[in-house]
């Protein structure tokens, strides 16, 4: 009996708050700080942001609740959970494929995520060592470009980040996460606030930045941008690949799924918007292009830190927190797969982690080369570099597809009474949530898929332009 009890507690988070911390740690990462500002810039600003926010509310929150509930009900690694849940609901065990799709997606995302996190390691060290002092924004920009041009340097940082990820995973998510995230999140918010205040008071372009982010010009909006906004909603909330499902499996029965999911969604969105509001005024102040691409975060913030008193320290600390935020996200990309391997085969956690990390590391070299050796047209896939292709495939296709299947499973396939008990919310709220999963979210995802991948390219092919 005592043994059973011990086994049970080992499987759940030790504290009620830990799920929120773990899920927030997963959600908040490069997606908020690096990707959101850069793709907002590329996609023209306000209209993109509005679609992203709508997707967060209409698709993201219900699916976040669904994933958590499936995870907690299943209580295994996602691949096994999905299969078990399918059996319980009397449908094909092929639903386990959702777990497989998630594992593949996590692998692909981590391969480029690690490379970008590596840039942040580079910037942490450069910041602390004072390399940027006295540099103009243009010089900081070319410093960034020369980092990208150097595959050896990128590979070094990529390797170090993969190593860190592997270490945390091998130790077990609980020990690695609980204390880290609790300190990191508030610190990250505080430093982001410092940059935001600097942007508001010293950049001289704060209103311009805000208006870029929040003024809605529907004529700027292509279906491609709508797809990117929806894809990013999945990416930033870590949805659609069973990461949240894996964490949900460790969630105590008593904790409220609705409340925790809402906290995570709000926190994640707040951080992304703060990052955007800090960055765009600096973009305009430095005469940069909003659509400058993946370097946006690094170049703008570095130029702000350089002119801030004590900026060398604050900047170093900021990039260090970016690395840590990336780390707490990265482990959630690995966890579902490693949990499955350990559950399924009789090999240890450490061995599974090492093998997995080596494979991701190798694949990540494709992203490393995308910025130098393979940046030319001859190495492109569908008009994209390797990195762009992997990013597009995961964020815009496999994550929304996984999310769609999870919503359909939770809304249509699972027994109503089971999921009702799991969510444990008032009946009205439950019915609303269920309608979102059954109808609203699937229709949104399918419509956006249809127009962006079928209708729009078809029109272009036929020479009919117009949106
Ligand atoms: N959400 C993280 C970010 O914004 C990235 C991430 C971690 C992720 N785990 C995920 C994305 C699972 C999709 C699925 O940086």
Is 246 part of a structural domain of the chain? yes
pLDDT in tens, 163-193: 999 998 888 766 666 667 777 888 888 999 9
The two three-digit tokens of residue 110, written as one number = 């981590």
Query: What's the CATH number where 317 sits?
Result: 1.10.4160.10
Is 397 part of a structural domain of the chain? no
Is 115 part of a structural domain of the chain? yes
| C-alpha 463 – ligand 1 centre gap (Å) | 37
Give the Cα separation of 248 and 246 in Å (integer).
Answer: 5
Ligand 1 atom at minimal distance to the Cα of residue 102 = 14
Is 86 part of a structural domain of the chain? no
Ligand 1 atom at minimal distance to the Cα of residue 268 = 4
Residue nearest to atom 13 of ligand 1 (CA): 238
| C-alpha 237 – ligand 1 centre gap (Å) | 6
| Ligand 1, pocket residues at CB < 6 Å | 26-27, 29-32, 109, 235-236, 238, 241, 243, 329, 332-333, 399
Residue 357 DSSP code: H
| Structural domain span for residue 118 | 2-75+105-388
Is 179 part of a structural domain of the chain? yes
Is 363 part of a structural domain of the chain? yes
Is 88 part of a structural domain of the chain? no
Reduce the DSSP state of residue 53 to 3 states and report it: helix
Question: Rounded mean pLDDT of 413-421?
Answer: 95
Prediction pTM value:
0.94
| C-alpha 438 – ligand 1 centre gap (Å) | 24
pLDDT in tens, 227-252: 999 999 999 999 999 999 999 998 88
Q: CA of 406: how far to CAs of 13, 46, 252, 307, 333, in Å?
A: 23, 30, 21, 47, 17
Cβ partners under 8 Å of residue 147, min gap 6: 119, 122, 153, 154
pLDDT in tens, 364-384: 999 999 999 999 988 889 899
| 38 — pLDDT class (breaks 50, 70, 90) | very high
Is 324 part of a structural domain of the chain? yes
| C-alpha 324 – ligand 1 centre gap (Å) | 14
Question: Is 303:282 a contact under the CB 8 Å cutoff?
Answer: yes
| C-alpha 4 – ligand 1 centre gap (Å) | 34
In percent, the amount of the chain with pLDDT more than 70 equals 94
Domain count, the chain: 1
Give the Cα separation of 140 and 119 in Å (integer).
Answer: 14
Give the Cα separation of 444 and 32 in Å (integer).
Answer: 23
Residue nearest to atom 7 of ligand 1 (CA): 329
Question: Is 247:23 a contact under the CB 8 Å cutoff?
Answer: yes
Residue nearest to atom 6 of ligand 1 (CA): 238
Q: Is the pLDDT of residue 103 over 70?
A: yes
Residue nearest to atom 14 of ligand 1 (CA): 238
Q: CA of 244: how far to CAs of 192, 202, 240, 252, in Å?
A: 25, 39, 9, 14
**Burial class for 4, CB neighbours closer than 10 Å (0-12, 13-18, 19+):** exposed
Residue 374 DSSP code: T
Give the Cα separation of 97 and 95 in Å (integer).
Answer: 5
From 22, 24, 26, 71, mutation site for ligand 1 pocket: most ligand atoms within 8 A of C-beta: 26
């Amino acid at each position: 009996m005592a043994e059973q009890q011990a086994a049970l507690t080992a499987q759940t988070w030790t504290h009620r708050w830990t799920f929120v911390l773990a899920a927030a740690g997963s959600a908040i990462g490069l997606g908020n700080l690096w990707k959101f500002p850069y793709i907002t810039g590329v996609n023209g600003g306000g209209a993109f942001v509005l679609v992203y926010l709508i997707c967060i509310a209409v698709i993201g929150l219900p699916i976040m609740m669904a994933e958590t509930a499936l995870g907690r009900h299943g209580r295994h690694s996602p691949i096994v959970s999905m299969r078990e849940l399918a059996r319980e609901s009397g449908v094909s065990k092929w639903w386990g494929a959702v777990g497989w799709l998630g594992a593949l997606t996590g692998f692909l995302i981590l391969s480029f995520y690690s490379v970008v996190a590596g840039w942040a390691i580079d910037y942490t060290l450069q910041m602390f060592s004072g390399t940027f002092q006295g540099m103009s924004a243009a010089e900081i920009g070319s410093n960034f470009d020369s980092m990208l041009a150097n595959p050896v340097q990128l590979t070094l940082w990529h390797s170090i980040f993969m190593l860190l990820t592997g270490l945390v995973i091998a130790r077990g998510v609980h020990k690695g996460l609980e204390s880290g995230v609790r300190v990191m999140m508030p610190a990250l918010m505080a430093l982001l606030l410092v940059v935001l205040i600097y942007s508001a008071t010293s950049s001289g372009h704060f209103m311009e930045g805000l208006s870029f982010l929040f003024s809605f010009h529907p004529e700027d909006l292509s279906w491609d941008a709508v797809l990117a906004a929806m894809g990013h909603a999945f990416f930033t909330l870590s949805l659609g690949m069973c990461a949240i499902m894996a964490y949900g499996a460790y969630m105590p029965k008593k904790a409220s799924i609705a409340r925790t999911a809402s906290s995570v969604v709000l926190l994640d969105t707040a951080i992304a918007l703060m990052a955007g509001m800090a960055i765009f005024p600096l973009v305009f102040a430095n005469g940069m292009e909003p659509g400058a691409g993946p370097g946006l975060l690094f170049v703008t913030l570095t130029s702000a830190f350089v002119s801030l008193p004590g900026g060398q320290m604050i900047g170093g600390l900021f990039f260090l927190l970016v690395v840590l935020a990336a780390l707490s996200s990265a482990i959630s990309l690995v966890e579902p797969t490693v949990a499955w391997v350990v559950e399924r085969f009789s090999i240890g956690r450490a061995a599974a982690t090492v093998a997995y990390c080596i494979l991701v590391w190798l694949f990540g070299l494709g992203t490393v080369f995308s910025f130098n050796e393979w940046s030319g047209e001859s190495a492109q896939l569908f008009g994209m570099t390797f990195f762009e292709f992997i990013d597009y495939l995961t964020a815009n296709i496999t994550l929304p597809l996984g999310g769609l299947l999870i919503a359909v499973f939770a809304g249509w396939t699972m027994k109503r009474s089971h999921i009702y008990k799991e969510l444990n919310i008032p009946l009205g709220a439950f019915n609303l949530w269920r309608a979102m999963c059954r109808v609203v979210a699937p229709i949104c995802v399918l419509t956006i898929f249809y127009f962006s991948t079928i209708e729009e390219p078809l029109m272009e092919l036929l020479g009919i332009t117009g949106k």
